[in-house]
Structure 1
Amino acid sequence: MMTKTMALVMVLAAGLLGGCENMTPGQKGAVTGAALGTGIGMVAGGSFGTVVGAGLIGGAAGYITGSAIGNR
């Protein structure tokens, strides 16, 4: 079951990243960070709240990093 879930998450992440060509670097970083945070939370076996929190934290960190890179 976990393998199917991870495969679905990866396909959705690839679709989101591929369809975001007109996004700013900060927005792309937020999407990537949220996907990675959520995926790591799921793999770690966290509860629903933990997975959502990891996604939010990853999204925030990704936005900050992407914005910093975009401003260079």
Structure 2
Amino acid sequence: MMKTKVLVLLAAVGMLGGCENMTTGQKGALTGAALGSGIGMVAGGSFGTVVGAGLIGGAAGYITGSAIGNK
């Protein structure tokens, strides 16, 4: 369990550090996917549910981020 937590923490740090050159839409997609997956895991969903929540969150985040970036 501890190994998984460390791996997730390292992945989060890597993603946050690598976002500098991303567009607003890409940042929104990343944030939406992370939030969707996180909420799916916290809710205790199955693997398929977590992946689906991540995909839906990513799509919604991209659309919202693109709309904000175009203003």
**What TM-score, normalized by structure 2, do the two folds share?**
0.84
Runs of 4+ in 1 over 4 A off after TM superposition: 3-8
In 2, are the aligned partners of 1:6 and 1:39 still within 8 Å (CA)? no
Query: Cα offset for 1:20?
Result: 1.3
Q: Deviations over 1:24-71 (max 9, x none)?
A: 100010011001100000000000000000000000000001001100
Query: Cα offset for 1:8?
Result: 4.7
After superposition, the CA RMSD in angstroms is: 1.8
Identity, in percent, stands at 83
Matched length? 71
**What TM-score, normalized by structure 1, do the two folds share?**
0.83
Consecutive unaligned residues in structure 2, runs of 5 or more: none
Aligned letter for 1:45?
A: G
- 2:63 corresponds to 1:55: no
Give secondary structure in 1 for the equivalent of 2:50.
Answer: helix
Consecutive unaligned residues in structure 1, runs of 5 or more: none
